[in-house]
């Protein structure tokens, strides 16, 4: 099956043996009756498994070309589960430009539990090799990165991790499975904040993991059940519904993202524009190879360079909503330094380019003329 068909039908055959409903029903139940202790129809308690969640997990596995999908109560809960594969003393190599909450989880929680993190620039995949020790277990990659839109060559990193028998996890939130398939590029785990493009309508918080390997899947299902950060059935239904239109939404996000990036690049009030579709983006060639288009996320600095100049632009926007998050049908704008990435120390942030005048746009699927006019008036 090709992607557009999988987005709608992947893993959904006989989803409701009871009544043949076309959409997976919302099984709003915490428990399931047993005819005799241990005798049931595959579900005992909804932390361990729920049919609506199961339908979503099958859809997730299908769109990522994996074998097993595992859904969580948030993107961070999904990342938390991956880190729980490790033990004190283990080491992780990760991109130095990460979603602020991921950084906070690594530094404020798992570092305290004795896991060591090496944050490195991964524009050159070979840099990974220099930081591998006999304690390294996991390489964590976000691509495109949030919010600087750096691109990491997943296949090149995978060739190193497989040689050293390390796990490679890729946060595919910005690209989505429609534009990029990390498992096909050699990653072991693909992770999503399903809150974003997968849900697609800014109406749920959820995370997901997809893997190919049965043993790894069993361990992650164990952690999902043992730690218990599972999403409810209503949210699973919404995510499943979102996935069915992922391909058409992301096409329009890409189209509008391209137009906005080009518009910003020629606007006299704008400094730098970060979007991997530009031929002068440092890893444009890698983006063109591993992604089928460049996505709907665009970051830029206001030329004046001050915090106030960025705040002025954000306050004047009328169609773009000033808000955290991304990937919904509506356009959002944010100030990473004080919103999504405030938990990263200022000095560290600025090294990555997350300056006070940096604005991040999640370009939605409204009419492009209205989006451009909105940015134009705000920048003027």
Measured from the CB of residue 215, what is the shortest distance to ligand P1T in angstroms? 25
Instruction: Say if CB 195 and CB 78 are below 8 A apart.
Output: no
Of the pair 89, 228, the CB lying nearest ligand P1T is at: 228
User: Considering the rule CB under 6 A, would residue 359 count as an interface residue with ligand P1T?
Assistant: no
Report the alpha-carbon angle 69-173-308, nearest 5. 155
Of the pair 179, 205, the CB lying nearest ligand P1T is at: 205
Of the pair 207, 257, the CB lying nearest ligand P1T is at: 207
Measured from the CB of residue 232, what is the shortest distance to ligand P1T in angstroms? 14
Give the E-state strand segments of the chain in sequence order. 68-72, 91-95, 116-120, 136-142, 167-171, 189-193, 207-211, 270-274, 297-302, 321-322, 332-334, 358-362
> What x-and-dash track marks residues 23-62 binding ligand P1T by CB under 6 A?
----------------------------------------
Report the alpha-carbon angle 211-212-214, nearest 5. 95
Sheet holding 189-193, edge to edge: 68-72, 207-211, 189-193, 167-171, 136-142, 91-95, 116-120
Tell which positions 69-108 bind ligand P1T, by CB under 6 A: 74-76, 99, 101-102
User: Considering the rule CB under 6 A, would residue 171 count as an interface residue with ligand P1T?
Assistant: yes
Residue 44 CB contacts under 8 Å (≥ 6 apart), including other chains: 31, 32, 34
Placement of tokens 């039908």 in the chain = 9
36: DSSP letter: B
Q: How many CB atoms lie within 10 A of CB 117?
A: 17
Considering only CA atoms, which of 29, 173, 39 is closest in space to residue 101? 173
Among 142, 153, 293, 374, binds ligand P1T (CB under 6 A): 142
Calculate the CA 257 to chain-centre distance.
17
Measured from the CB of residue 250, what is the shortest distance to ligand P1T in angstroms? 15
Query: Alpha-carbon distance 149 to 326, whole Å?
Result: 14
Catalytic site includes residue 196: yes
Q: CB-hemisphere CA count at 13 Å for 157?
A: 36
User: Considering the rule CB under 6 A, would residue 352 count as an interface residue with ligand P1T?
Assistant: no
Catalytic site includes residue 171: yes
Strand 332-334 to 358-362 pairing: antiparallel
**Piece in contact with ligand P1T (CB under 6 A), picked from 248-256, 261-269, 320-328, 364-372:** 320-328
Measured from the CB of residue 345, what is the shortest distance to ligand P1T in angstroms? 18
Of the pair 136, 340, the CB lying nearest ligand P1T is at: 340
From 171, 235, 293, 374, the catalytic residue:
171
User: Considering the rule CB under 6 A, would residue 205 count as an interface residue with ligand P1T?
Assistant: yes
Q: Which residues pair with 273 in a beta bridge?
A: 300
Of the pair 12, 143, the CB lying nearest ligand P1T is at: 143
Q: How many residues bind ligand P1T (CB under 6 A)?
A: 18
From 6, 53, 58, 196, the catalytic residue:
196
Cβ-closest position to ligand P1T: 75
From 47, 137, 219, 241, the catalytic residue:
47
Which residues of the chain form contacts with ligand P1T (CB under 6 A)? 74-76, 99, 101-102, 142, 146, 171, 173, 193, 195, 205, 207, 324-326, 340
The catalytic site residues sit at: 47, 99, 171, 196
């Amino acid at each position: 099956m090709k992607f557009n068909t999988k987005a709608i039908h992947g893993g959904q055959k006989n989803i409701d043996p009871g009544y043949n409903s076309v959409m997976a029903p919302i099984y709003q139940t915490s428990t399931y009756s047993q005819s005799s202790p241990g005798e049931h129809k595959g579900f005992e308690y909804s932390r361990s498994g729920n049919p609506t969640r199961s339908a979503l997990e099958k859809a997730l596995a299908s769109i990522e070309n994996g074998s097993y999908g595992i859904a969580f109560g948030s993107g961070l809960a999904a990342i938390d589960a991956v880190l729980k594969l490790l033990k004190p003393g283990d080491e992780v190599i990760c991109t130095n430009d990460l979603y602020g909450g991921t950084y906070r989880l690594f530094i404020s929680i798992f570092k305290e539990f004795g896991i060591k993190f090496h944050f490195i620039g991964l524009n050159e995949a070979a840099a990974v090799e220099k930081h591998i020790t006999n304690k390294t277990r996991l390489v964590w990659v976000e691509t495109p990165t949030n919010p600087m839109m750096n691109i990491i060559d997943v296949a090149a990193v995978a060739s190193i991790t497989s040689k050293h028998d390390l796990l490679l996890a890729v946060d595919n939130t910005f690209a989505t499975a429609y534009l990029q398939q990390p498992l096909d590029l050699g990653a072991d785990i693909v992770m999503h904040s399903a809150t974003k493009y997968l849900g697609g309508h800014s109406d749920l918080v959820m995370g997901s993991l997809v893997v190919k390997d049965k043993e790894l899947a069993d361990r992650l299902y164990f952690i999902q059940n043992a730690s218990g950060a599972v999403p409810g059935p209503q949210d699973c239904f919404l995510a499943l519904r979102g996935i069915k239109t992922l391909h058409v939404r992301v096409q329009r996000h890409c189209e509008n993202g391209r137009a906005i990036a080009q518009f910003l690049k020629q606007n006299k009030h704008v400094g730098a524009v970060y979007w991997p579709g530009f031929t002068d983006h440092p890893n444009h060639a890698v983006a063109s190879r591993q992604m089928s288009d460049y996505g709907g996320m665009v970051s830029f600095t206001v030329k004046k360079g001050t915090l106030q100049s960025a705040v002025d632009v954000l306050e004047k926007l009328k169609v773009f909503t000033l808000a955290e998050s991304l990937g919904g049908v509506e356009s959002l704008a944010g100030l990473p330094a004080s919103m999504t990435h405030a938990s990263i120390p200022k000095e560290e942030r600025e090294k990555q380019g997350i300056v006070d005048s940096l604005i991040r746009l999640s370009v939605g699927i409204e009419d492009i003329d209205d989006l451009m006019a909105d940015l134009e008036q705000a920048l003027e």
